[in-house]
């Protein structure tokens, strides 16, 4: 990566998150270590009962009621996470140059929730478009979640979203690091957001694809890497990081969670939905090359592992190829606890592992009762956490249309 001057080294100094099993990092981490699921059954329009992961943070903690009504669920998640991250970072917004702050949020998609609701209302109104809301356009523009953060915090620097399917959480972080390093902003709010549980379409599409996870017990509805897995549980969530240069962080005496030491993004160019192990291998290898590390120097690999039949096998083949021969690397996955938080997945799942630098534990995978032999990898942590000194984490996030991302975070000394 670039040069090693403190101005070019990018560190994480604040984390704000909401996941189906926690509304801050401590709660989320504790529930990952304790095996607590955030998946429940919910009723969804046109489909009835489905397993899903919803967040229960206080939407009005940082947002006025009027602005919540005017905006979007994705925006409310983003505003909550951004504010929590700033509080966590210790940054005093009154002292900031608001023009020098960037907001970069990864999204899988945006606007489906609002569009579906409008179409529903249209049918309730006998297809009279005169009742179509004037809020439709500002709610559905792709930059809405980032724009709502800008409005909420009075940040006048660049604010936009990055559409990268389910790799988007990592992409938000990567883009934030790039923009700071390029000198475009002093520091950034970067991560990923998803409100997908509020649209029936995503559930129905996964069901049609034969990839919607289900079980009588909703906490068992998604079983990544298990032989009996039957698909994805759709979840919402958000995770926003404060990113800044090491120089900037040192100058203000910030607590440093970790340093972004490597990343890579590439594309399969092979299929709309099926992943490609070869490109995933290249992605992880190139991220490690940028970090100047070999596979034996990666302590944790967090898999994307969505719980689909083919996706898990393909990723396991890739991870086995790179890390299988290495005794040091421990491997885990998060979606058995919280489902697939889509655009937030990468950022959230990374956050779930970052406390390993401090507590020396690697959380296990949830819901593996009968490991699929095709998903067996040496170093896979199943169930209870294991003790291990952790200095590096590689976080995988992949998405539809064949986008792959890997980001590597190192413990800061």
d(Cα 314, Cα 374) in Å, to the nearest integer?
Answer: 9
Active-site entry in 81, 166, 316, 341: 166
Please pick, among 110, 304, 330, 363, the residue that the annotation labels catalytic: 304
Residue 212: other Cβ atoms inside 10 A: 24
| Residue 363 is a catalytic residue | no
Length of the chain (residues): 413
CB of 18: closest distance to other proteins in angstroms? 22
Q: Toward other proteins, which CB reaches closer, 45 or 70?
A: 70
Least Cβ distance, residue 110 to other proteins (angstroms)? 19
CB of 65 to other proteins, least distance (A): 4
Residue carrying the six token digits 């967040």: 55
62 or 323: whose CB is closer to other proteins?
62
Coil/strand/helix, residue 255: coil
Residues 220 and 40 sit within 8 Å (Cβ to Cβ) = no
Choose between 60 and 274: whose C-beta lies nearer to other proteins. 60
Q: Closest CB to other proteins among 132 and 205?
A: 132
Q: Kind of pairing, strands 48-53 and 234-235?
A: parallel
Give the shortest CB-133-to-other proteins separation in angstroms: 7
Residues 162, 397 contacting (CB under 8 angstroms): no
CB 173 within 8 A of CB 241: yes
Q: From CA 241, how far away is CA 15, in angstroms rounded?
A: 5
Q: In the bound complex, what is the minimum distance in angstroms from residue 136's beta carbon to other proteins?
A: 12
Name the active-site residue from 110, 175, 340, 363.
340
Nearer to other proteins, 69 or 373 (CB): 69
Say whether 340 is catalytic: yes
304 catalytic residue (yes or no): yes
* Ranges of H-type helices in 15-167: 25-34, 65-70, 73-89, 112-124, 136-140, 144-153
**SS3 (DSSP) at 322:** helix
> In this structure, how many other beta carbons lie within 10 angstroms of the beta carbon of residue 46?
10
Catalog residues that contact other proteins under the rule CB under 8 A: 64-66, 69-70, 130-131, 133-135
In the complex, what is the shortest distance from the CB of residue 124 to other proteins, in angstroms, rounded to a whole number? Answer: 11
- Residue nearer to other proteins on the CB measure, 46 or 64: 64
Task: Give the burial string for 9-36 (b: 16+ CB within 10 Å, else e).
Answer: bbbbbbbbbbbbbbbbbeebbebbbebb
Determine the Cα–Cα distance for residues 202 and 268; give it in Å rounded to an integer: 23
Residues annotated as catalytic are 166, 304, 340
């Amino acid at each position: 990566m670039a040069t090693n001057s403190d101005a070019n080294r990018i560190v994480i100094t604040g984390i704000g998150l909401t996941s189906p099993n926690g509304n801050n990092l401590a709660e989320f981490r504790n529930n990952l270590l304790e095996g607590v699921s955030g998946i429940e059954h919910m009723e969804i329009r046109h489909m009835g009962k489905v397993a899903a992961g919803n967040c229960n943070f206080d939407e009005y903690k940082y947002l006025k009621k009027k602005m919540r009504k005017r905006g979007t669920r994705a925006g409310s998640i983003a505003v909550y996470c951004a504010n929590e991250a700033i509080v966590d970072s210790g940054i005093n917004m009154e002292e900031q140059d608001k023009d020098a702050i960037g907001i970069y949020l990864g999204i899988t998609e945006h606007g489906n929730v609002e569009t579906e609701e409008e179409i529903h209302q249209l049918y309730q109104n006998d297809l009279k478009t005169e009742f179509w809301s004037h809020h439709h356009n500002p709610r559905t523009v792709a930059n809405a979640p980032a724009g709502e953060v800008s409005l909420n915090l009075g940040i006048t620097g660049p604010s936009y979203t990055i559409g990268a399917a389910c790799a988007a959480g990592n992409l938000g972080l990567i883009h934030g690091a790039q923009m700071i390093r390029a000198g475009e902003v002093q520091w950034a709010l970067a991560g990923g957001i998803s409100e997908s549980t509020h649209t029936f379409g995503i559930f129905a599409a996964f069901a049609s694809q034969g990839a919607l996870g289900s079980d009588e017990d909703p906490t068992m509805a998604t079983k990544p890497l298990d032989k009996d897995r039957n698909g994805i549980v759709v979840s919402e969530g958000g995770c926003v990081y404060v990113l800044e240069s090491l120089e900037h962080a040192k100058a203000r005496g910030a607590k440093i969670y970790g340093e972004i030491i490597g990343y890579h993004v590439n594309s399969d160019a092979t299929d709309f939905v099926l992943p490609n192990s070869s490109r995933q291998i290249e992605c992880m290898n190139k991220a490690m090359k940028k970090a100047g590390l070999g596979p034996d120097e990666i302590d944790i690999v967090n898999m994307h592992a969505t719980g689909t039949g083919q996706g898990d096998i393909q990723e396991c083949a890739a991870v086995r190829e790179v890390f299988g021969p290495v005794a040091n690397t421990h491997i885990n996955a998060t979606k058995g606890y919280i489902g697939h938080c889509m655009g937030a997945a990468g950022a959230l799942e990374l956050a779930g592992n970052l406390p390993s630098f401090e507590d020396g534990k690697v959380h296990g995978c949830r819901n593996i009762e009968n490991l699929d032999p095709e998903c067996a990898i040496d170093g896979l942590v199943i169930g209870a956490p294991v003790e291990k000194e952790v200095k590096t984490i590689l976080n995988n996030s992949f998405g539809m249309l064949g986008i792959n991302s890997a980001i590597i975070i190192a413990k800061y000394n």
